[in-house]
Structure 1
Amino acid sequence: MISRAMDILADDELIISKPRAGRIVNFPPRVHLSVPSRPKVLLVGGYAGSGKTELGRILARLTHWPMLDKDTTTRPVVEQALELLGKSPHDRESTLYRESIRPAEYEALIAGMMENVECGTSAIVTAPFALELADRTWCDRTAANLARLGADLHVIWVRCDAESMRRYIRHRGAARDASKLANWDDYVKGLNLAFEPAIEHTIISNSANARPLQEQAEQLLATVTA
């Protein structure tokens, strides 16, 4: 009976049988992707709380490509720099942050992306990218730099309704979001919820009535790796 149950699970690809009766769990089932002939860069942007990092993690689990997230990569350095400059480590709204520190964050993030591509490795890069993706010159330059290294750029923008973003921001409880939540109405007025990048792109919806991100990620990868 146990052997029969194992056979059924194997048929459904929920376990993978190995020699000498070894088995490993395969849940969620693997997405079978063709190996890309050229490195791919999936650049995932979206406002705070839109779900861009969650999408990035799903894509990374499905592809096993490295994921470079701006907050994970740069936050400790940013917080230390802000404190040394006499600011709150959680400041993301001041002129000092926006004009002096933010550009350096993105410079470091893009440098990490380029280094992976120079090694022939695909990468998933997650950050808001709101200013960058509105700038056609920045988009074209980034795509050209990647093409020069034999890599393809795929831009993804994660769109989400304001209430879902606020709910997610509250749930994660990050100190850097305190100012946004305290001034939510003013913050939302400054967002373009219908934003589209200035370059060819894919819109992923993470609003309350959207399809699960897992499904959308699998569909995206089927196109990217075709």
Structure 2
Amino acid sequence: MAGAGLLLPPTPARATEAVDVLLVLAVDVSRSVDEDEAKLQREGYRAAMTDPRVVEAVRGGAMGGIAVTYVEWAGAEYQRQLLPWTRIASQGEADSWSAALAEAPRASLSWTSISGAIDFSLRMLAEAPFEATRRVIDVSGDGVNNSGAPVEQLRDQAVAQGVVINGLPILNDRPSFGRRPALPLDQYYAESVIGGDGAFLVAAEDFEAFGMAVRRKLIREIANLSGPVREYA
């Protein structure tokens, strides 16, 4: 179902244009994420991308711009590119991206396949109409991989291609669908999901803290800042 609900980009992509980083925002829409949580999650991305501190980080790079695509995922059978590759290099472009995300439809499906999300994100990176020296997959979710291939297998494939995977685990109190996790979710993300040079995670204590976690994470990965492997918001 890749491409379902595809929206036109606020700024048309131009082939061969250079940006500082290619960033896939891969967002969990499995059934453990209810309607209120989904709204908090999406509003978190909208608010973070338009935050002046994030825009300052975007403009501060060598190329003065980034390219972003927004992907939603659930089980191994479901991933879709909700917003296409879009160049963001100004406050106005960030605002346009945020407005497009507000209008995008949302689905809620069954299982949680982080491995499927990484596999799909790698395909999105391969198809990106921009050039960048850094490629990052930003995985957010509230559960462990319980569908599809082992997540470690896809993480290792991504790292072998020079792609960095950062994580944003949401530490809510709900049990995961499928098997109960043997580890706390932040530890699981640290050991099984993130990978690559300088990879890190920012854990949100719950969905209400998600917006702050996204903003902190975007600033760090856009500006390519060093810091601890785990942060908490």
> Into which bin does the TM-score normalised by the smaller protein fall?
0.3 to 0.5
Structure number with higher strand proportion: 2
- With structure 2 as the length reference, what TM-score do the two structures score? 0.41
Structure number with higher helix proportion: 1
| Higher-RCO chain (CA-CA 8 Å, sequence separation at least 6) | 1
Larger radius of gyration: 1
